[in-house]
Structure 1
Amino acid sequence: MTDRLHRSTLPETVEAPVTPESVGIVHLGIGAFHRAHQAVYTEMAARATGDRRWGILGVTQRSASVRDQLRPQDGVYSVLTAGADETSLDLVGAVVDVAWPAEETERVLDAVGAATTHLVTLTVTEKGYCRKGSGSLDLSLVSGDVVALRAEQGVTGGTDVDGELRTGAVGLLVRGLAARFRAAQAAGDHRPLTVLTCDNMVDNGRVLQGLVGELVDAALPGEEGDTLRAWLAEDVTFPCSMVDRIVPATTAEQRDDVEHRLGVRDEGLVVGEPFSQWVIEDRFAGPRPAWERVGATLTDDVAVWERAKLRLLNGTHSLLAYAGRLAGHETIAEAVQDPAIAARARQLLFEDALATLVAPEGADLVAYGESLLVRFANPATGHTTRQVSMDGTQKIPYRWGGTIAERLEVGEVPRGAAFALAAWAEVVRREAVAGRAVDDPRGEEMAKTVAVLGGGSAADARPEDVARALTALAGMLPSGVGLDPALLDAVAAEVEGLL
């Protein structure tokens, strides 16, 4: 039986990973993306500077699977960088351990509160922020954290929370922040902290800061939470950031290949494309790794980078996913090599989105757009159209919404974006007709919409009517945009073309 990868079984064929001296970062949502992106930057920064303070305690949100992969390996795992023509392999040791809150909540709270921890980072996906369509916090999704926060703060009495008690990443974060505040009070210090979200949301740091404030207000209204609110305002910062690297699911064949290369079995293997980018607002409350030494961009304005990435990369990615599913393509690489779909992707990129953007200093957005099509065509990434097309109502507002609104504002109907909306709506309609659950937080709502349009039967709903109704759903597009007659006509026409 092959040995498991571990610090005691490190192969000599690749550079040894760092061994952190302490936990300096608590990361919520330690899935494959974090391990192939932020953890890699942290590893590289430690190697470049010799600074070993930045060990990562990963927190797995959905299940114990990542903990069970990495804990037996002492946190060490490998990253397979897969290009179209060649691959490379590196070991990462920046992760000290992984905790699962369902069984180790106190450990997570203690780690956030520790004086050696200076950052909490997050990759929990858009829906992990428990937001309503309006953008405000959905308290029903963090009700358990509201109750727990009151108890942990020593506040007696009830709250307005009713029904099933549930928890979420934002709730766990706030409880960790409150634990840090209590620890600072006990020690007589301040313990400043940087909370850095790395999820694809416009103005993500300020969005998270607002959600944290909403949860504190709900759990500790009035004087009950005044001292915690004051500490958050004085000692905690929420920088914005933008991240970019395609990180597909790891296959069994890749695990076997890496086992052959290393001579040991790595159950924590992650795969990423050669391209990687990280833009961070330079607004830290305390010390941090020297990420800029290894390729990260520190800036006063993330928004211009973020907007370009969301509208060009993420927007095109989603178009390829929906159109690819309709055409029977399993992967994004197959979809982008379909001439008809590639033409519509170019339309969204270069006619719609690019016209709404100002290039960041030193960036060539036309070249960036062309590079995206090359990256998407890399078969090694393995991104499936089904995977990318999940959670459309959480992604579309950010990926297509701004482009559509700004083009309509100048009197232009964005045809590529109209095609993308039509493809999304048609995927939803076909799932409803087939009786399958739509993989989306608003899936039931959309399925009911389709059924109502068909007089109780989804199969009887006219595709054009479905496309119009879904485009007009509250929260899908900026205020009023989803009701624009020219846009709705364009989307309905595109559906007819898809059929």
Structure 2
Amino acid sequence: MRLSNQTLSQLPEKVVIPSYDRNNLKTKMVHLGFGAFHRAHQAVFTDIVATKHGCNWGYCEVNLIGGEKQIADLKEQDYLFSVCEMSYDNWSTRVVGVVKEALHADIDGIAKVLEVMTRPEIAIVSITVTEKGYCYLPSTASIDLNNPLIKHDIDNPATPKTLPGVIVEALRMRKEKGLKPFTVMSCDNMPENGHVTRNVVLALAKQRDRNLASWIDDNVTFPSTMVDRIVPAVTPETMEKIKKQLGGIEDPAGVAGEPFKQWVIEDNFVAGRPDWQKAGAELVTDVLPYEEMKLRMLNGSHSFLAYLGYLAGYLHIDECMQDPSYVKAARHLMINEQATTLRVKGVDLQAYADCLLDRYRNTGLKHRTWQIAMDGTLKLSQRMLDSIRFHLKNGTQFDCLALGVAAWMRYVSGVDDAGKAIEVSDPMADKLKELVANSNDNQERVKSLLSLSQVFGDDLPNNPCFVEKVIKAYLSLRDIGAKQSVKQLERIY
């Protein structure tokens, strides 16, 4: 038996279910990227506003590439899905009901997706497709015109395959029909995610029609956001726990995440928005300081623990937290090497760091280090390298950050400290494999990987202080392994 309108009444009393009339919801938002994070984050905020304040903003969920089963499952169960909060051994569950429609570009057709996006009532197109979905170069924060899918969209603009291509075509159609534009809101973990989204959309639009690009530039807003909730990839074990929470009813679209959630939004919408602040979101004029805080302190320490933890045999973040040396190193990284680079005001950063460590200790999450380690070529810059540039400019120390970069290099070399092969998941996996294969396992390996200008730019590979520190850290990881290299950091505390 599956979750549906018919089975809602059979759920355990402790499960929160939609108390609002779902028939009153209007599809005013299209969300691109119906993944676990969106379900556990933005959809929950919207569901809370609908539950407590009668908000009638509903979603059309869209997957452009992959995730066919997610959309099929959602349709089969009347667009309902559950979100569980995992706090050690204590779980709580709500059923989210703010989805009205769901589409997959390959199954329903891109024309249908564009038709929905050009309805007059669509006010927001929101996004969670991970960094790679933007088809951008982190070193320039603009579009990668050499991306094969971008080349396709330039040649075939009416049948786009990429996120930027779909948005540009939908906006062109709205312009031609004389409709008001929608707001484009990225909710992915990138610095200035609204700025990046605007860059790629305008760059692609200019390739097609400069008048269209000017219209978008003048009329469309791209608010930045900072999103925070740890949502591990769903496992069979998670599915069984969700089923138990639902009293034996199955929900293949269900997800589970930690109790903590945060959403900081630049309040810049051209056609209105739900009252997300009533569900705890923070509406601000400048998101960047909050983005930097989260990307460097949370995501940066997460990547640090993921690479060094996986190399040492720790499969989950909570296992890293059982190693005192890893806890000390993560806290030193956050307080002494990340917090000092930030511009955010009015936040107790030591308390924030301690809060993050408590969240990492949550044994209910089982957040895989391998999952966090994915796509490092797209993540290193905002999580570690920008902070390193700050330290190089100011002559301050960055031993933990250097070890984190070196750990990424050991990780993408493809073998952990026990000699087991690592499955490296990265959009540049083939290039990484080539660089590793053609370099010796010493300083040559470091310099080979530093040649990736898309990741390191031209400045860092030519900075002797940076190169020397990373080589030293890399050789330590090679010679004594991750656990001992992390333990040796204690000399700087």
Determine if the TM-score, normalized by the shorter chain, exceeds 0.5: yes
Report the equivalent of 1:195.
184
Q: Percent identity?
A: 36
Residues 340-363 of structure 1, C-alpha deviation per residue, up to 9 Å, x if partnerless?
3223222311111111113333x2
Aligned amino acid, residue 15 of structure 1 = V
Measured after TM superposition, the shift of residue 145 of structure 1 is 2.2
Deviation at 1:391, TM superposition (A): 0.8
Match of 1:138 among 132, 140, 144: 144
Correspondence for 2:242: 258
- So what's the TM-score if we normalise by structure 2? 0.89
Aligned residue number for residue 254 of structure 2: 269
Q: Cα deviations across residues 16-49 of structure 1 (Å, max 9, x unaligned)?
A: 3241522111001110000000000111111222
Q: Residues 368-411 of structure 1: CA distance to partner in whole angstroms, max 9, x if unpaired?
A: 11111111121211211111111111000110111100011111
Q: Which moved more, 1:24-33 or 1:487-496?
A: 487-496
State how far apart, in whole Å, the 2-side matches of 1:69 and 1:464 are.
49
Letter of the aligned partner of 1:240 in structure 2?
Answer: S
The 3 A distance-change label for structure 1 pair 325 and 258 is: closer
- How far apart, CA to CA, are the structure 1 residues paired with 2:414 and 2:240? 37
**In structure 2, how many angstroms separate the alpha carbons of the residues matched to 1:394 and 1:368?**
25
**Shift, 1:200, TM fit:** 1.1
Partner of 1:207: 196
Partner of 1:496: 475
| Kept in 2: contact 1:421–1:471 (CA 8 A) | no
TM-score by length of 1: 0.88
Q: Does 1:77 align with 2:77?
A: no
Answer whether contact 2:32 2:64 (CA < 8 A) is retained.
yes
Aligned to 2:43: 39
Structure 2 unaligned blocks of 5 or more = 480-493
- Of 115, 122, 125, 1:117 maps to 122
Q: CA offsets, 1:225-251, max 9 Å, x none?
A: 41x234313321100111000001223
Aligned residue number for residue 171 of structure 1: 165
1:148 corresponds, among 153, 156, 167, to 156
SS at match of 2:414: helix
What is the Cα deviation at residue 85 of structure 1? 4.1
Instruction: Report 1:40-439 matches (<5 A).
Output: 40-104=44-108, 105-132=110-137, 133-139=139-145, 140-149=148-157, 151=158, 167-183=161-177, 185=178, 190-220=179-209, 225-226=210-211, 228-263=212-247, 264-361=249-346, 363-431=347-415, 438-439=424-425
**CA gap 1:437/1:372 in 2 versus in 1, 3 angstroms:** closer
Alpha-carbon contact 1:61-1:169 (below 8 Å) kept: no
- Report the 3-state secondary structure (helix = DSSP H, G, I; strand = E; otherwise coil) of the residue aligned with 1:62: coil
Alpha-carbon distance between aligned partners in 1 of 2:202 and 2:270, rounded to the nearest angstrom: 18
1:4 aligned partner, one-letter code = R
Residue 482 (1) aligns with residue 461 (2): yes
Q: Which amino acid aligns with 2:298?
A: L
In structure 2, give the amino acid aligned to 1:143: K
Shift of 1:124: 0.6
Asked if the contact 1:278/1:296 (under 8 Å) is kept, the reply is yes
Change (3 A) 1:476 1:233: closer
> Which structure 1 residue ranges, 5 or more long, are not aligned?
153-165, 454-460
Is the contact made by 1:59 and 1:108 (CA closer than 8 Å) also made in structure 2?
no
Indicate the SS of the match to 1:249: coil
Aligned length: 465
Q: Supply the AA of the counterpart residue of 1:401.
A: L
SS in 1 for 2:424: coil
Contact between 1:110 and 1:179, CA under 8 Å: does it hold in 2? no
Residues 113 and 181 of structure 1 are in contact (CA less than 8 Å); yes or no, is this contact kept in structure 2?
no
Classify the secondary structure of the residue corresponding to 2:403.
helix
User: What is the distance in 1 between the residues matched to 2:323 and 2:227?
Assistant: 27
> Residues 358 and 216 of structure 1: is their aligned pair in 2 closer, same or farther, counting only changes over 3 Å?
closer
**Are the equivalent residues in 1 in contact too, given 2:128–2:188 (CA < 8 A)?**
yes
CA distance in structure 2 between the partners assigned to 1:445 and 1:385 by the alignment? 22
**2:428 is the alignment partner of 1:442:** yes
